[in-house]
Amino acid sequence: MSLPGNANRDNFGSKFGILAAAAGSAVGLGNVWKFPYVTGQNGGGAFLLIYLACVLLLGVSVMLSEFSIGRRGQRNVFGSFKSLAPNTPWYFAGIMGVVAAFVILSFYSAVAGWTLEYIVHSVDGSFHSGEPLSNAFNNFITHPVRPILWQLVFMALTALIVVGGVKNGIEKYNKILMPLLVIFLLILCVRAITLPNSVEGLKFLFTPDFSKITAKTVLFAMGQAFFSLSLGMGALITYSSYFKKTENLGITAINVSIADTVIAVLSGVVIFPAVFAFHIEPSAGPSLVFITLPEIFRQMPLGSIFGFIFFALLAVAALTSTVSLLEVVVAYFSEEFKITRKKSIIITIIFASILGVFASLSFGPLSSVLIFKKSIFDLLDFVASNVLLPLGGLLIVIFVGWYMTKRDVRDEVSNGGTLNVPFFPYFRFIVRFIAPVAIAAIFIYSIFYGSLG
Ligand code: PFF
């Protein structure tokens, strides 16, 4: 028998709300900002193929594992582990998830804030001012105040959504923002593929060049898939604790993974044709979106409008992700310490902003502060993406594959035996054998060889 739901908890109201919120968490800067530039740096189509394999082989199963823990546990990420494994140290995996969410929220909101500055720049004519766009970008991110103000605005927007609760906040806004994001993306896709020479960009994205593939690329693709699907840290455990007991977890995991991957690929379809149409190097790295693209918008007819749409898309993608990060921490504080959501939000936002300000300043006034040879921003990113996420992912798959009984996992995935789950043996095999080895490999490699990026 599946465990009863907790009638006193706020829950998602609809299937579409669940999909929008979970896809909203997954689709973020990782898709629109990071995926295109890492693809550009790692061989285009070959990287794409490996990335797809990682999502299909590992991502979907790890996501389904997280859904099983959250919905069965019926609490925040820490509480869910505690209720499924009482009197064991498994709650430690939950604490790690809360810490990871807090750390990611702090530095992710710095880059998210940049998107707001760029929304303004696309319409105020700054891209056309004649100043080299790389200077403009560097002047902005090294400025001691402006990026911080935008970061705080972004935190405030995130808090305003989360304060409404699950149904009237997270679900309500994701149901508006995610369709908006898809519309923005489709407009930009049409614009990009009708540019002269766009075929070159598409060829770059879709033709595999296997000579660029090394073991490192494979591990990197796996790490990117994890980050992009919001795995390994409890965001999806927290969200799934609000899922209905009748929700089909397997189908939801597949739909969210498909949505996340399609949006990453379409972001590539927006960016690479534009890059090739304007004869720009596709492997520009992190600056691809903030320097290369504005250059393109500067040269393109109606560039201000397309620039506005692009950066609004980036901001919306980031916002629905920071909402899920904040919810992880807020659910933890409010449920475990019995304080109101409002108080938990205020506390979390204050502390995440303080850490976030240091992350932001590490591009400018604090750029000389290096810890383990990394700037504060890079260190936070490294600790979260290369240590906490893989370790969290490893604990999650070991928990579902080896700690929970086969009966309990099957019971949760099949909604108490009411759903047909023909994929169950494959899922269980992946979670028990393939995923732990693959995730351990990413983890060990990234610890010993530094950032995979
Ligand atoms: N998946 C988000 C992205 O691709 O930008 C980042 C993220 C959000 C990671 C939420 C982890 C998370 F819990």
**Best mutation site among 103, 228, 237, 322 for ligand 1, i.e. most ligand atoms within 8 A of its Cβ?**
228
Instruction: Specify the residue with its C-alpha closest to ligand 1, atom 11.
Output: 230
Query: Can you give the pLDDT at residue 452?
Result: 42
To test the pocket of ligand 1, the residue of 25, 35, 231 to mutate (highest count of ligand atoms within 8 Å of its CB) is 25
pTM listed for this prediction: 0.94
| pLDDT of 436 over the 80 cut | yes
- Please tell me the distance from the alpha carbon of residue 77 to that of residue 166, in angstroms, as a whole number: 15
Residue type (1 letter), 292: T
- Dist. CA 432–CA 252, nearest whole Å: 21
Q: Which residue has the higher pLDDT, 296 or 403?
A: 403
Range 288-315 average pLDDT: 90
Please give the number of the atom of ligand 1 that sits closest to the Cα of 324.
10
Domains recognised in the chain with CATH numbers:
15-449 (1.20.1740)
User: Contact 187/309 with Cβ under 8 angstroms?
Assistant: yes
- Sequence-ordered alpha helix ranges (H) in 27-132: 29, 35-41, 45-54, 60-73, 77-84, 91-124
353 CA distance to ligand 1 centroid (A)?
18
Instruction: Tell which one of 108, 115, 388 to mutate to probe ligand 1, the residue whose CB is within 8 A of the most ligand atoms.
Output: 108
Query: Which ligand 1 atom sits closest to the C-alpha of 228?
Result: 4
The 3-state secondary structure of 224-284 reads HHHHHCCCCCCHHHHHHCCCCCCCCHHHHHHHHHHHHHHHHHHHHHHHHHHHHHCCCCCCC
Per-residue pLDDT tens over the stretch 58-113: 999 999 999 999 999 999 999 999 999 999 999 999 999 999 999 999 999 999 99
CB-defined site of ligand 1, < 6 Å: 25-26, 28-31, 101, 104, 227-228, 230, 233, 235, 321, 324-325
Q: What are phi and psi of 208, to 5 degrees?
A: -75, 135
State the average pLDDT for the chain.
Answer: 92
Interval 313-352: pLDDT, tens: 999 999 999 999 999 999 999 999 999 999 999 999 999 9
Atom of ligand 1 nearest to the CA of 26: 1
- The β-bridge partners of 371 are 374
Q: Find the 302 Cα to ligand 1 centroid distance in Å.
A: 32
Rounded Cα distance between 67 and 229, Å, is 13
Ligand 1 nearest-atom number relative to CA 101: 13
Across 153-177, average pLDDT: 97
pLDDT at res. 58: 93
Q: pLDDT category, 300, cuts 50, 70, 90?
A: confident
* SS3 state of residue 2: coil
